[in-house]
Amino acid sequence: MGLTPAHAERGHALLGASKASQWINCPPSARAQEGIPDTRSEFANEGTAAHELSELILRSRLLGEMLDEAIAAFKRTSPYYNAEMEAAVAAYVEVVEERFMAAKARSADAAILFEAWLDFSAWVPEGFGTGDVVLIADGVMEVIDLKYGKGVPVSAIDNPQIRLYGLGAWSDYSYLYDIREVHGTIVQPRLDSVSTEALPIGELLQWAETVVKPAAVLAHAGKGDFAAGDHCRWCKIKGSCRARADANMAALAYEFRDPVTLSLEEIGSILHVAEQLSAWAKDVSDYAFTATKAGQQVPGWKLVEGRSDRKITDKNQAIQLFSEAGLVPEKYLKPPEILGIGKLESSIGKKELVEILGGLIVKPPGKPALVPETDKRPELNSVEGDFEGEDF
Ligand code: SF4
């Protein structure tokens, strides 16, 4: 079996699964972004490369395909391949292998598919997606998605993208298999995160009928109400969207009560609004910057040259000149430093690092941080004495 089409060539439908949280929560956002070109970032290219390498390794290890040369060629030629990618892909491959072994333990004829075309057009007009891995065994179907990014944590719980993949996989394969449960798994190896949502097929279909279908009809027609929220993060018009501006300006119109100083209750509310406003302010500023750079005028604003630091153009020549000037190296060279633990793990390997350094690696308690109560970390005891000696 040949490899699937290049990962970067995955199609983008109007109502794609990766944008589902947008068009489900804000149906007209799909048409509002139509025609705006995708700006492919280096991060996206890096993610595509990680998917390509993962697929090669998984096909080689789980299907016995002769891909050693292709893997070696990838590692030799990809500008994105490095020790961090090697470690992250290995962690992802390990999860898929474990899940496949568990599936085989449940049923000897467990099936595994890579880069499966998933069609959920029964609920979403022209709805399709591509599942990195689909496993089917003993009434359970599992869709596994690799997220190579590490900027934003992504969980499989309540995640419409992975649910739509599950729906597509069920729709495509339920005529061959009796599937009772659909599992959606997201592996984000660079954040050490693996999350799975398991839904009985009835529950998934109910969500599809009551939530997805009505939103998709509105979104496809460009109808419905604009509604701002967390889903605006990846919207192409997030910097110029009026609905988002209105929502944020309304959040600003907070009515403060007397007396002169704010109550802690009020401060708690303001912190939530401030987080939302600061993300929005950055998006509006990026939008204005891009428009101005393209020659448009934003009244009251102009482009200027930013600050820059002096730099040495030729470091080798500078070292030679310092040496010829009779300076001792301590005067102009930094002493060598041990890399940070993350970089050491990438360059040496996680297990190897622990074997070599063992007890020299400790994790001191982190500095107290104020976060919303929805954050998953357990609450610290806030008695002041507990923080004595902390330097903050
Ligand atoms: S920025 Fe938010 S509110 Fe505006 S169209 Fe996009 S998703 Fe909808």
Which ligand 1 atom minimizes the distance to the CA of 242?
4
Which residue has the CA at smallest separation from atom 4 of ligand 1? Answer: 241
Look at residues 99, 114, 98 and name the one whose alpha carbon lies nearest to residue 65.
Answer: 114
Q: Is the shortest distance between the CB of 245 and ligand 1 below 6 Å?
A: no
Q: Is the shortest distance between the CB of 7 and ligand 1 below 6 Å?
A: no
CA of 232 to the centre of ligand 1 (A): 5
E-state strands within 170-235 = 181-188, 193-200
Per-residue pLDDT of the chain (392 residues; tens, 9 = 90+): 344 444 544 556 889 898 999 999 999 999 999 988 877 678 888 999 999 999 999 999 999 899 999 999 999 999 999 988 999 999 999 999 999 999 999 888 889 999 998 999 999 998 888 899 999 998 999 999 999 999 888 999 999 999 999 999 999 888 888 899 999 999 999 998 999 999 999 999 999 999 999 999 999 999 999 999 989 998 999 999 999 999 988 877 766 666 778 888 888 888 888 888 999 999 999 999 999 999 999 999 988 888 889 999 999 999 999 999 999 998 999 988 999 888 888 788 888 888 999 889 888 888 888 888 887 788 887 555 454 444 44
Which residue has the CA at smallest separation from atom 3 of ligand 1? Answer: 228
Q: Looking up tokens 């997606």, which residue turns up?
A: 129
Distance CA 187, CA 91 (A): 9
Residue-level pLDDT at 256: 64
Best residue among 15, 23, 29, 249 to mutate for probing ligand 1's pocket (most ligand atoms within 8 Å of CB) is: 29
Which residue has the CA at smallest separation from atom 7 of ligand 1? Answer: 232
Distance CA 8, CA 50 (A): 11
Q: Is the shortest distance between the CB of 247 and ligand 1 below 6 Å?
A: no
Distance CA 212, CA 216 (A): 6
The structure's pTM equals: 0.78
Residue-level pLDDT at 215: 97
Q: Is the shortest distance between the CB of 163 and ligand 1 below 6 Å?
A: no
Which ligand 1 atom minimizes the distance to the CA of 236?
6
Best residue among 24, 226, 276 to mutate for probing ligand 1's pocket (most ligand atoms within 8 Å of CB) is: 226
**DSSP code for 224:** S
Spell 163-174 as b/e; 16+ CB within 10 A means b: bbbbbbbbbbbe
Q: Is the shortest distance between the CB of 232 and ligand 1 below 6 Å?
A: yes
CA of 280 to the centre of ligand 1 (A): 11
Q: Looking up tokens 């599937």, which residue turns up?
A: 179
Which residue has the CA at smallest separation from atom 1 of ligand 1? Answer: 238
Q: Is the shortest distance between the CB of 279 and ligand 1 below 6 Å?
A: no
Amino acid of residue 304: V
Contacts made by residues 193-201, CB under 8 angstroms, sequence distance 24+: 193/153, 193/154, 193/155, 194/95, 195/155, 195/156, 195/157, 196/142, 196/156, 197/156, 197/157, 197/158, 197/159, 197/162, 197/163, 199/163, 199/166, 201/170
Residue-level pLDDT at 379: 85
Which residue has the CA at smallest separation from atom 2 of ligand 1? Answer: 232
Question: What CA–CA distances, in Å, run from 374 to 59, 174, 240, 251, 377?
Answer: 39, 37, 29, 20, 9
CA of 370 to the centre of ligand 1 (A): 28
Q: Is the shortest distance between the CB of 19 and ligand 1 below 6 Å?
A: no
